[in-house]
């Protein structure tokens, strides 16, 4: 029997496993969970009907198709087999062509049943998920979208109707795909970039906070047509919390150190020389420490207020471009930069950008700090030019004379929280937002970022396109 089955079914591409008795058959089935069990009625120790009953009692094996092979083709044997859970019979001696056809048909039906069950389970889990799940083909056509994905992309809730438009067309109606280079060739992923991360960013508006979706991709190709599974995960809180933590750390480092020095210095003098100080000296030292403590309290209040300020300015407000000159001078002084110039294009004196002062200060601080950190002598010459772009946005161009970046560094410089870029974007522990943080602020304000090497010497140019505030001209 063993040799006959092997000769008939091995050429069909099936992987075969044989058992010589009922107990061995049960153990083998539990280990393999086969697509089909061919079971002889007559076996040592345990007949085929008993083996069938035990298989049906096992939750893991209860759905596996069982074909009984028997020489007893009478009515009573068939009824006994049906009661035990047999799916089909093959009578000995069997026709070889019929045997192959029966096995092929049952295996195909069983695999289809399993696939259908898996799809049903996936559909249920996907519908309960807070993440959006979509299936797309290479042109970007959406073949499936769960409830969360329909909410994220503003699609009709009725899943029975067709979805018009490609995934990117639907996404761009309300989101910006960022970083821009990461979406080139969508939905294919370059083989040499396992760290590629894509985001859909809905910019902040006067009535809504910025919204971030992280986009993950799984290649599901199993046939001729490439198909991908897309997951959309809301990471808005993580992005904002990470940036807020870094802003808070930077604020503590840069704003609290000076008043703390005054408090500690005054108290140390009184502690070490209390017996030698006159009453007037004690009063003077106490007054110095008190003023420093009051300044510290004011700085803490400023920090807490700063962290609550949105990226965008309030309606009818905005950051006036002429104030960039004193703001840059303040930042340069805080960073110890000796050479930072600002040139404002004529005609923009009454223009405001749609960003809060705190957001503009954060953006400029990070860019200038980055220039200083990676200049060979930590003393860059920084030139800032403000002009009108072709899209009528305000273009802020920051040029330094520091290092020249490699193509790989330029391609990845804006990727939020990409660990490999810490060596050239300043995203180190305790170092503030870095260039990825600058990008996240600009994207949330519906702006754009670019960076490229200077063509007239060492250094880079950072270009930001910032929208004009409503009524800001």
pLDDT digits (tens, 9 = 90+) for 256-279: 777 777 788 878 888 887 778 888
Per-residue pLDDT, 190: 61
Do 188 and 228 lie in a common domain?
yes
Asked if residue 314 belongs to a domain, the reply is no
**pLDDT 10s digits, 408-465:** 778 778 765 433 333 433 333 333 347 887 888 899 889 999 999 999 999 999 999 9
Do 290 and 338 lie in a common domain?
no
Do 338 and 435 lie in a common domain?
yes
Do 217 and 247 lie in a common domain?
no
Per-residue pLDDT, 422: 37
- Whole-number Cα distances in Å, 443 to 190, 211, 229: 24, 10, 26
Do 156 and 250 lie in a common domain?
no
Q: Which residue among 179, 206, 234 closes a domain?
A: 234
This prediction has a pTM of 0.58
Section 190-212 average pLDDT: 77
Residue among 10, 171, 170, 21 nearest 99 (CA) = 10
- The pair of three-digit structure tokens given for residue 104, joined into one six-digit string: 């092929």
Contact 302, 335 (CB under 8 A): no
Given pLDDT bands bounded at 50, 70 and 90, which one contains residue 133?
A: very high
Q: Which residue among 193, 217, 234 closes a domain?
A: 234
Tell me the CATH number at 348. 3.30.565.10
Asked if residue 58 belongs to a domain, the reply is yes
Q: How many domains does the chain have?
A: 4
pLDDT above 80 for 29: yes
Question: Where do runs of H (alpha helix) occur along 58-95?
Answer: 75-84
Tell me the CATH number at 143. 3.30.450.20
Given pLDDT bands bounded at 50, 70 and 90, which one contains residue 193?
A: low
Measured CA to CA, the distance from residue 93 to residue 99 in angstroms comes to 10
Asked if residue 124 belongs to a domain, the reply is no
Contact 149, 216 (CB under 8 A): no
Average pLDDT of the chain, as a whole number: 82
Do 217 and 252 lie in a common domain?
no
Given pLDDT bands bounded at 50, 70 and 90, which one contains residue 129?
A: confident
> What percent of the chain shows pLDDT beyond 90?
28
Measured CA to CA, the distance from residue 446 to residue 176 in angstroms comes to 8
Contact 36, 110 (CB under 8 A): yes
Q: Cα torsion at 6, 11, 14, 19 (round to 10°)? A: 0
Given pLDDT bands bounded at 50, 70 and 90, which one contains residue 208?
A: confident
Per-residue pLDDT, 348: 93
Section 114-140 average pLDDT: 81
Do 163 and 223 lie in a common domain?
yes
Asked if residue 312 belongs to a domain, the reply is no
Per-residue pLDDT, 26: 92
Given pLDDT bands bounded at 50, 70 and 90, which one contains residue 207?
A: low
Asked if residue 472 belongs to a domain, the reply is no
Do 181 and 293 lie in a common domain?
no
Do 459 and 332 lie in a common domain?
yes
Q: Which residue among 272, 307, 342 closes a domain?
A: 307
Residue among 30, 24, 2 nearest 16 (CA) = 2
Do 287 and 425 lie in a common domain?
no
Do 29 and 84 lie in a common domain?
yes
What letter does residue 208 receive in the DSSP assignment? B
Per-residue pLDDT, 321: 95
pLDDT above 70 for 30: yes
Asked if residue 313 belongs to a domain, the reply is no
Per-residue pLDDT, 175: 94
Asked if residue 387 belongs to a domain, the reply is yes
List, as one string, the DSSP characters of 243-273: HHHHHHHHHHHHHSHHHHHHHHHHHHHHHHH
**pLDDT 10s digits, 60-86:** 888 889 988 887 766 777 788 888 888
Asked if residue 151 belongs to a domain, the reply is yes
Per-residue pLDDT, 418: 38
Tell me the CATH number at 43. 3.40.50.2300
What letter does residue 470 receive in the DSSP assignment? T
Residue among 155, 211, 258, 193 nearest 420 (CA) = 193
Do 345 and 414 lie in a common domain?
yes
Section 355-370 average pLDDT: 89
- The pair of three-digit structure tokens given for residue 217, joined into one six-digit string: 């991709």
pLDDT above 70 for 106: yes
Is the CA virtual torsion 69, 70, 71, 77 positive or negative? negative
Q: Domain containing 17: what range?
A: 2-119
- List CB contacts of 312: < 8 A, sequence separation 6 or more: 204, 205, 206, 354, 355, 356, 359, 445
Given pLDDT bands bounded at 50, 70 and 90, which one contains residue 386?
A: very high
């Amino acid at each position: 029997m063993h040799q006959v089955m092997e000769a008939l079914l091995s050429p069909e591409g099936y992987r075969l496993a044989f058992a010589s008795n009922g107990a061995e058959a049960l153990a083998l089935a539990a280990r393999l969970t086969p697509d089909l069990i061919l079971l002889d009625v007559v076996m040592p120790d345990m007949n085929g009907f008993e083996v069938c009953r035990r298989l049906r009692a096992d939750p893991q094996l209860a759905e596996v198709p069982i074909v009984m092979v028997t020489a007893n083709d009478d009515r009573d044997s068939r009824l006994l087999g049906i009661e035990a859970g047999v799916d089909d019979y093959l009578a000995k001696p069997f026709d070889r062509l019929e045997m192959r056809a029966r096995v092929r048909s049952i295996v195909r039906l069983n695999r289809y049943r399993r696939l259908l069950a898996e799809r049903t389970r996936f559909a249920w889990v996907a519908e309960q998920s807070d993440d959006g799940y979509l299936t797309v083909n290479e042109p970007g056509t959406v073949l499936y979208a769960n409830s969360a994905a329909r909410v994220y992309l503003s699609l009709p809730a009725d899943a029975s109707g067709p979805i018009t438009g490609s995934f990117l067309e639907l996404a761009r109606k309300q989101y910006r795909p960022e970083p821009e280079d990461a979406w080139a060739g969508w939905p294919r992923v370059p083989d040499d970039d396992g760290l590629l991360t894509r985001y859909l960013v809905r910019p902040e508006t006067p009535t809504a906070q910025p919204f971030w979706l992280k986009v993950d991709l799984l290649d599901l190709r199993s046939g001729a047509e490439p198909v991908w599974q897309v997951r959309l995960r809301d990471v808005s809180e993580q992005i904002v919390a990470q940036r807020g933590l870094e802003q808070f750390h930077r604020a503590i480092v840069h704003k609290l150190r000076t008043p703390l020095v005054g408090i500690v210095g005054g108290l140390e003098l009184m502690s070490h020389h209390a017996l030698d100080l006159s009453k007037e000296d004690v009063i003077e030292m106490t007054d110095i420490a008190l003023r420093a403590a009051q300044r510290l309290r004011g700085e803490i209040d400023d920090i807490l207020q700063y962290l609550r300020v949105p990226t965008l300015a309030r309606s009818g407000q905005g950051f006036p471009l002429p104030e960039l000159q004193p703001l840059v001078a303040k930042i340069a002084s805080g960073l110890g930069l000796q050479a930072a110039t600002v040139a404002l294009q004529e005609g923009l004196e009454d223009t405001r950008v749609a960003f809060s002062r705190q957001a503009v200060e954060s953006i400029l601080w990070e860019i200038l700090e980055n220039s200083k950190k990676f200049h060979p002598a930590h003393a860059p010459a920084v030139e800032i030019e403000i002009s009108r772009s072709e899209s009528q946005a305000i273009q802020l161009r920051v040029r330094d004379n520091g290092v020249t970046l490699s193509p790989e560094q330029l391609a990845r410089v804006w990727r939020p929280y990409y660990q490999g870029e810490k060596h050239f974007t300043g995203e180190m522990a305790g170092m503030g937002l870095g260039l990825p943080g600058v990008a996240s602020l600009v994207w949330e304000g519906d702006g754009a970022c670019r960076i490229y090497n200077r063509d007239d010497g060492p250094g880079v140019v950072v270009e930001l396109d910032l929208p004009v505030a409503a009524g800001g001209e």
